[in-house]
Chain A
Amino acid sequence: SQTIHQWPATLVQPVGSPLSLECTVEGTSNPNLYWYRQAAGRGLQLLFYSVGIGQISSEVPQNLSASRPQDRQFILSSKKLLLSDSGFYLCAWSDRATEAFFGQGTRLTVV
């Protein structure tokens, strides 16, 4: 069966520090991969999606970037965090967008 792992679960980082959140999927190949950010009252904001290795599409220009170095690995990064980057980050995978499978999320607090 397919599983998705996302870590860390919580993270407190100072302003200006770098960020790396990792997501890996098991049990499937060539999945569509997604990074979402969830802020209070704003629902799920799609940040990045990827349909294959090295293929990244950005939905919202911002201080973050994403990479897909392997088929089932998706990384969210920042060189310098801002206070506004605080939020709950969710990784998800999908097979042809008939449904999505989500990781447990990372609560990022930038201080």
Chain B
Amino acid sequence: GDSVTQMEGPVTLSEEACLTINCTYTATGYPSLFWYVQYPGEGLQLLLKATKADDKGSNKGFEATYRKETTSFHLEKGSVQVSDSAVYFCALRQYGNKLVFGAGTILRVKS
């Protein structure tokens, strides 16, 4: 079945450091790919998405590029802030179907 693998955390960075959270997927078709973020005590929020190969999703300084050849969708940010501390989930979705999530990666940014 479809699956998503994320790098294990927690990831601890200093403010203004560069961030990369790796995400790879296994899917039979051509899924859409998503990054969701969960801030402490809150629900999931969509951070960015990409619907086909080579698409780049971006939002709030975060970016991820849909790489079909490596089945990857790594999340990157050039300069993190303390307010970026959260749990980040990579997910895939086949047409009209459920989301399949990775295990989540905790990001801690210290000032």
Q: Indicate, yes or no, whether A interacts with B.
A: no
